[in-house]
Structures are given as C-alpha cells and as structure tokens.
Structure 1
C-alpha cells in the first residue's frame, strides 16, 4: 500500500489567525477527503498554535507548528485513529515513525510550506515534514564529486536526541493544551517519553559549540576586510560584531510580528554606560551591557546608513535594515549574511592555516557567535552573575552548566596526573 504524500497543514502565525480554506485548496481537499474528526482535530491544532503564537516566542511557535503538523499528519494519514483513542503504545509507534520516516516525507532543505499562485496558497513541492540535514558543502569540491552528481540518501535520516526531545515536548504541550480546554482527558505522550527506546541516557561532557580565538579572529578580520572593500558589507560587520560581543541570538536582531528592534533600543544611563534593550527568549525584556569597544562599530554602521554617530531617544530606524524596502530583516535573511562571512573566512583560513584549523567554520551557525562571546568572557574571569544577566539566563546555574562547567574542569585537572605505568 502506497504511503500518502503529506500536505502542510498550517501557515505562519499571521496567516493562521484569519485562515480561509478557499485560499488553501490543498488543506481543504485533504480535510474533506478524510474522516469527519479530521476537521475538528485540525481546529484543535489551529487553536493551540494561535495560543502559542500569542503567548510564546516566534521560535516556539515555529517549533510547535512543525511538531503539531507532523503528528496530525501521522494521525490522519498513517494511524487513522483519533487522538482521544491513542494510548502510550501508539505514541511510541509514532516515535518509531519519526525515527525512520518514509522517504516521501523527507526533504533536503528548509523551505516555505506554501507558495502563492494566482492569489491562492499552494503547497511548495520541495517541502516535506522531515528534513535531512546535510553537512555544509566545502567551497572546494573534488572533480569526482562534481562528476558523480550523487543524490543524498534519505534512508540515512535519523533525528538527533535534541530533535527527538523537541518532538515529545511539542506533542506533550499539544495534549496539555487540549486537556486544559477539556477536549481530551489524558496525556499519553507524557508517560510514553520515559519508555521511548530511541532516547540515549547522556552522561557526556558537553562541548560548547564555539569558535576558537583563531577562528573568531579570522571571521572578524574577514568581515572587516569585506566592509573595507565594499560598504554594502558594513551591515555584515555590524551583525557579526553584535552577535558575538552582545551575546545575541539571531532572533533578537530580527524583526518579528510582536517586536521590531530599533536604534533607540541602544540607550545611555546617567553614568555614561551604554545598554541595549533586547526582547529575548520567553518573551522577556532584558538590558545587555554594551562595551566601549563596540561603540566604534555602531558609529561606523550608522555612518554608512547616513545617521548621526549615536542613537537618540525615540529613534525608530530599524536596528538592521532590509537590503530592499523598509523595515528590519528576518532571522533567515540575517543568517544568510552571517553564513556569507563564515564561508569566506573558511576559504581564507584554510589556505593560510590548513583544513584542520578552518574546518569548524564549515559547521558553525549564527548561535556559535553568542557562545563564542560568552565563553571568552568566562575565560577572562568576568563575574558569573553579570554574564548570566547579559545572556538573559534565568539563573546562574544555567550559565555555569553551559559555559563554565566547574565540576568538569576540576575532574579534567584531577585526571591529568594519572600515569600509564
């Protein structure tokens, strides 16, 4: 029996609020083709995601949307059983499905779910519920690679432990919402998680995904050189410096439906200290210290944009402006800017210092810059409490476990002295 091809169920939060089925013909066709309970389940998902979009961050909405969508597609197209009849064994069956989904449910790139066609939103043919994450390609390919044109093997897809945890987190949250609304009266996902055979008990020493001093110096020098050669890269230099020096997540620089970072979010207190107001994870506002060393790059970027040297109260210019049009940039646009710098820095570092030392620049993501800046602050001995508040952590214990790892440092020192004979 052929496995049905999945259809995306939910658009972005902004579109989901006032969704009309006539504008999404494939969603309409799918729901009309199934059992009567499919439509009510879809509405449960819509309610849950609208609640998440109102009360959580954009990142949380996107994560829960993906998990809710995958789960309901499995419920509709594979299991064929309403949620109120699912038990612990069924959720474990779904976990097995997520561990090795059918190839038709796997895509190779992060794409939009829908594309606009004659005023209607139709499925993007490149989309699928699961994504096989490919390693970043080296900019230098071998002749054999170019000639083989070999397609990635989707059978190699396996979710990471982090992805599997996110799957259960999303389903548990969905069930919990439905219980609170009195649609359902049990949460089988909550009790199934402990018995999922794909989880590995992890007692490893956690490695911080960060750049070394040398790698960071290459990234910074590359961004500086690009901006010196062509002013259009002043934006890239500013973004790279802000992410690393101010410990920002990429979303905290981006324009979101409920928040637009603007220049007046930089502010100066009565003692002459500069701060940046940040709307962060968990819908929390925090003020991050801005070091004197960063002010020069802020002035440089503002000069490129034709602004006064320093921000003023009430200035509504976006913190990072779009290449075309008005307003701020999205997380995806900012990520592309950073990746461009990483790619060029990798090329230059590989030629000078060799592949081994440059390799991590192929793996690095925007979040590595936040980790790099925080780790360097730990190494220079900055007070943990101050660093924790700049990072926006809810407690110093989080900062210690992620960046300091005091117990592991002591353990490593004690282990160095043992002898072979």
Structure 2
C-alpha cells in the first residue's frame, strides 16, 4: 500500500518528521492501556493508509474529505487492497479491514480520529481540526446511546447455556471433553463476571483468591486500573471443574501462575484474537443448532446469535444483573465504569414501565379488558 504523505511542519511542538511519527507520539499517550492503544492505532492506521492512497497528508484533510472517508469505512474499495482475513501485521497479505464497518463502528472511528486531530492541533502538527466543521457533529460523533440493545434476552441466554452444557457423547475423546469444558468456562466466566475480552485473556489463576470466606477476582482493566469483583458460587464451581480438566488442584493457590484460559496444550494462554474467534465461532454454531431445532419460529433469535460478538456477553451479564435487582452502585463496580450514567444504560425497568403505560393508549373501538366496547 502507498505510504502516507509527509509534510513540513515548522511550528510543530513535537519531534516528528512525518505524519506517521506524529501519530505514533499521540499513541504513546495511551501506552498504559493496551486495549485502547490497539483500538486507536487501528483507526489511525486506516486513516493514514487511506490518505496515502489519496497521496495527501493529515494537514491537507478537509471537511469534505470526511464524508468520503466515512463512505470508505462503510465500503473499503477496492476490496482486494483493503479487506482480508486476520493475518500477522508483517504478513504481505495483511489487510486493515475484515469487512465493511457498521454504523456504530464508523461512528466510533470518527470519535477516535476527532480526538487524535485535537491533539495534533495542540502539538502544532496540523493547523485545524476538520471534524469541528461538521454541522451534525453531535449526532454523528456522539457515540453514547440511550440504552444497551446488544445483548441476549434471558430466554435466549438460557437456551444458549443449556446448549453449551450438553456434555459430549460417552465415547468422546479427551480432546473433545477438554474443548467442551473450556467453552463452558469461557461463556460462564464472561456471563458471571462481565469481563472485557482482553481481561479474560489476561486472567491468571492467582487472580482468584479467598478473603474472609468469600472468593474474589482481581482484574486490571482499562487505564491500568485494578479492581476486585465478587466471585459467585457458580463461577467457583466452573473454575473447579476446569482446573480438574487441567489436572490442577480444585482451588487456586495464592499467587499461582498460569493463565485461566488455555490452549490445547493445557499450558499456553489464549490471546485476545484467539478468544474472540472462539466465541464468535461458538455463537455461529449455536445459531445453526437453534435454526435446526426451531426453524422459522426462532428466526429472530437465530439472527441475534449470528450478529453477537464477544462484547455482547458483557452487555448480557450487566443487563441481567440489573434486571435481577443488583443496585446501580454495585453494578458500576462490576462493570468498572467511572460514571454511573454509563452503567445506567443497562437499566431497562423504565422502558418496561413506559411500555406498560403506553399500552393503555389505543384506537377507538378496541374492546376493554371486560370485553365491552368502549363508549
């Protein structure tokens, strides 16, 4: 792919010789949060590569270019140049896209890049931030939503857990039993503790520890912040079963090393990408199973499973905890949100009450509950 153009920036307040070096300095601001760093690098890289293909640099980006770039995110073309399966970054067939970005992903990309340009303006690398000229900037760049809808409703989750819990056949191999136990552990872990996928991949056995008769999970999340989360009995039971499969003692020892989620050798930990693909593959397999089992009657649920990503499990966990009556302050602690209004998106009780009251509003002539026609 063409390299992004290099410009001369006499007023720059950073030591950089090219757009790529300037962006690299911006990215160092997020070195304490590896997950954020990866996400921001991906979006910045896509913009730099696109600009290189246009033979222009960051300082030449104008307001009208943003619409063209957003359309490009929705349909990266030519496809062979931009889209491809996961590959190591040094591979010659690595591509920056797995496919077109959804509206939510495009919105998130623009949010990230707006922040990048604000920093570059302060650094004196570019003279203006074209995102500030977007007339409908608040609508397009505000990534907050009034509620969370990317989750599995309880009946669908209950079906999925029953499907995940169906044991292998009696003549199943040791490998098949291992994969079954690991899959249940992954989905149970995700549902019971609401971790981010990077936090699951990084979890060590010693991160689970008892204190005054209760078990806790120590987790380091976004921004390098460490927290402890209560471990419910079901999670402890899953962990014990999984450790038995690994040939370990029933409960973790203080400071015990070794990843919780492991590869087929039972030793090496799973990486973020491996875990992501495993969960996505499981959702697709579950969708196929539900479609075979229920056919057209379950079409909407099958579609939900096919659309689901690993982060849906976190949304599902927090939504179901909220529906079960977990107080907002404790829910925020589990989610590790800095703001309560972020956690409040998982509270659907107001929607339910609104819908109940709205149902009393109907068209003339509708029979009331007694069966009589209204006057």
TM above 0.5: yes
Provide closer, same or farther for how the CA distance between residues 61 and 316 of structure 1 changes in structure 2, counting only shifts above 3 A: same
- The match for 1:300 is 241
Tell me the residue number matched to 1:77: 53
Residue in 2 that maps onto 1:132: 99
C-alpha displacement of 1:333: 1.2
1:268 aligns with 2:210: yes
Per-residue CA distance 1:70-123 (angstroms, 9 max, x = gap): 222233331x444334444444554454455432454154444332xxxxxxx2
Compute the TM-score of the two structures, normalised by the length of structure 1: 0.72
Aligned to 1:161: 103
Q: Distance in 1 between matches of 2:39 and 2:209?
A: 33
d(CA) in 2 for partners of 1:210, 1:181: 40
Match of 1:410 among 338, 353, 365: 353
1:131 Cα deviation (Å)?
A: 4.0
Out of 124, 128, 137, the residue aligned to residue 186 of structure 1 is 128
Q: Does 1:42 align with 2:20?
A: yes
Q: Which runs of 5+ in 1 are unaligned?
A: 1-5, 8-29, 116-122, 134-158, 256-260
Runs ≥4 residues deviating over 6 A:
200-205
Give 1:18's aligned residue: none
Residues 128-159 of structure 1: CA distance to partner in whole angstroms, max 9, x if unpaired? 444435xxxxxxxxxxxxxxxxxxxxxxxxx4
1:232 is the counterpart of 2:199: no
Q: What secondary structure, in the 3-state scheme, does the structure 2 residue paired with 1:373 have?
A: helix
Change in CA separation of 1:224 and 1:162 when aligned onto 2, cut-off 3 Å: same
What does 1:20-169 correspond to in 2, within 5 Å?
A: 30=3, 40-52=18-30, 54-58=31-35, 60-78=36-54, 80-104=55-79, 105-115=81-91, 123-124=92-93, 127-133=94-100, 159-169=101-111
Of residues 370-379 and 405-414 in structure 1, the stretch that sits farther from structure 2 once superposed is 405-414
- Partners in 1 of 2:144 and 2:198 — Cα distance? 30
Other-structure match for 2:274: 333
**Partner secondary structure for residue 408 of structure 1:** helix
Report Cα offsets for 1:313-339 as digits up to 9, x if no partner.
Answer: 111121112224844211221123323
Deviation at 1:413?
2.1
Give 1:172's aligned residue.
114
Instruction: State TM-score, norm by structure 2.
Output: 0.80
- State how far apart, in whole Å, the 2-side matches of 1:65 and 1:310 are: 39
Kept in 1: contact 2:182–2:261 (CA 8 A): yes
Change (3 A) 1:72 1:303: same
Judged with a 3 Å threshold, the aligned counterparts in structure 2 of structure 1 residues 405 and 39 are, in CA distance, closer, same or farther, namely same
Change (3 A) 1:97 1:304: closer
Which residue in 2 is equivalent to 1:313? 254
Partner in structure 2 of residue 150 of structure 1: none
The structure-2 alpha-carbon separation of the partners of 1:413 and 1:89, relative to structure 1 and needing over 3 Å to count, comes to same
Root-mean-square deviation (CA), in Å?
3.1
Retained in 2: the 8 A contact 1:205–1:408?
no
Taking the aligned partners of 1:310 and 1:350, their CA distance within structure 2 comes to 38
Pairing of 1:245-394 with structure 2 (within 5 A): 245-255=192-202, 261-270=203-212, 272-324=213-265, 326-357=267-298, 358-359=301-302, 360-394=304-338
SS of 2:18's equivalent?
helix
Distance 1:370 1:93, change over 3 A: closer
Secondary structure class of the residue paired with 1:309: coil
Measure, in 2, the Cα distance between the counterparts of 1:196 and 1:395.
23
Gaps of 5+ in 2: 9-15, 365-375
Shift of residue 193, structure 1, vs aligned partner:
3.9
Contact 2:111 2:142 in 1 (8 A): no
Whole-Å separation in 2 of the counterparts to 1:316 and 1:35: 46
Asked whether the equivalents of residues 107 and 143 of structure 2 are also in contact (C-alpha less than 8 Å), the reply is no
Q: Would the aligned equivalents of 1:266 and 1:277 in 2 still touch at CA under 8 Å? A: yes
2: CA distance between counterparts of 1:409 and 1:350? 29
Give the Cα separation in 1 of the matches to 2:189 and 2:97: 32
Q: Aligned partners of 1:336, 1:93: CA distance in 2, in Å?
A: 31
